[in-house]
Amino acid sequence: MKDDLPLAQLSARALLACSALLLLATNCTLRESDSEEVEEAVLAGTSACAAPATFTFTTSGDSTVASTGGQAVAWFTAGAYTVRMVGPTRTFTWGNPALVTLKSTAWVRTLASPFRADMPAQARSDWLNAARAVNCAAPTGTKDVLAIAFEYVEGTPLHAGYAYGADFHDYLGVAWDPPDAGIRSPDPTLLGELDCSGYVRLVWGARSNFTYKGASSSVPLSLDAFAGMLPRRSSQQYVSGPGKVIVPFRLVPPGGAATNGGTPTSAEVSALAAGDLVFFDTSCDYGVSNPSCSADPSVAIGHVGMFLGKDTASNLRFLSGRASSDGPTIGNVSAWSIVNAATASSWFAKRFRAARRL
């Protein structure tokens, strides 16, 4: 699974991809909460869908937390586009009938530029009130990063098949002019296909999850490592992508033995939040007693996914484009889409190596 802006003219397929609404999928769905769930969230004190609010901002290190009514409702990270916020409850499922269920109040949107701690409080408040308003307008409003990601899973009209080497512009069938290279024409044999890092780029860079005061919220894309932009390969996305490294690359947990496979520590798990990119080394053989794994992330990292949070079975789920499922999934096909080792299949958990918040 190793992975090897203005967009140019959009094809009919691209226009569909940029405007289609999320439909319930046969195998993997995202269900918008009903009014009772929204009301429950408000009554619980999160004020997820309240009228415009006045926020208190508290900064500690690189993290700035927005609170209203004594409740934390949004999290900003210095240098990162990503803003995570409390919103209406949504349910993600996989399987028919559902074999995996994940309920979450997390909504993820992106700023037009990376967050700075000196961003005026009023500007933060105005942006956050606007973002919360479109969260609560769903399903007819603008979709956030997570909802956009689920438009391409199994069973959906926009389902993206898996093909190694397929980038976002191949899926869309459009030409792309990178800032650091010449125009890239789509490969017609890869129309509707993506690999894992191409999927990340489609969701974060080719789609805008929020337009505020005329500024698009998509993350800028580059072909290779280019300052402040999301590059092509999964290893590059960790090493030089925008935002902040949340879990630094390592082979095994501190003090751990090589044979334990490098399952995330409790500190690493607690650092993860919905929308974070999670990275795996897919070349290390843990079938031997003393695996020899590369200490170079540009060599070792071969797969990337998006962290979602804890499912109803307390497994830590991520969403990624995979060959075994022929596209994006949160499922248990071949290996479970989890980063903890509390299940029968800990293939990805053993290979978890790093995380970045875009």
Q: What ranges do the domains of the chain cover?
A: 234-357
- 177 φψ region: left (φ > 0), alpha (ψ -120 to 50), beta (else): beta
pLDDT band of 346, cuts 50, 70, 90? confident
pLDDT tens digits, one per residue of 80-110: 999 999 999 999 999 989 999 999 999 999 9
pLDDT attached to residue 344: 67
- In contact, 78 and 115? CB cutoff 8 Å: yes
pLDDT band of 216, cuts 50, 70, 90? confident
Please enumerate in sequence order all residues whose Cβ is within 8 A of that of 311, keeping only pairs 6 or more positions apart, or say none: 100, 101, 102, 317
Write out the two tokens for 142: 């603008």
- Mean pLDDT value across the chain: 85
35 vs 354, more confident: 354
The angle at the Cα of 236, spanning 234 to 237, to the nearest 5 degrees, equals 65
How many Å apart are CA 204 and CA 194, to the nearest integer? 14
Residue in the block written with tokens 């901002």: 57
Within 10 A of 7 (CB to CB), how many other CB atoms are there?
A: 18
pLDDT attached to residue 141: 73
DSSP-H helix ranges across 138-222? 145-149, 168-172, 196-201
pLDDT band of 255, cuts 50, 70, 90? low
- In contact, 301 and 279? CB cutoff 8 Å: yes
pLDDT attached to residue 231: 98
pLDDT band of 45, cuts 50, 70, 90? very low
30 vs 144, more confident: 144
**Strands 352-357 and 301-310: what pairing?**
unpaired
Instruction: Provide CATH code, domain 234-357.
Output: 3.90.1720
How many Å apart are CA 262 and CA 252, to the nearest integer? 4
Within 10 A of 98 (CB to CB), how many other CB atoms are there?
A: 15
Residue 122 buriedness (CB in 10 A; 0-12 / 13-18 / 19+)? exposed
pLDDT band of 263, cuts 50, 70, 90? confident
Within 10 A of 148 (CB to CB), how many other CB atoms are there?
A: 21
Global confidence as pTM: 0.87
- 154 φψ region: left (φ > 0), alpha (ψ -120 to 50), beta (else): beta
Q: Which of 26-30, 239-243, 268-272, 323-327 has the lowest mean pLDDT?
A: 26-30
Dihedrals phi, psi of 171, to nearest 5 degrees: -55, -45
Beta-carbon-side half-sphere exposure of residue 69 (alpha carbons within 13 Å)? 12
pLDDT, average across residues 285-305: 85
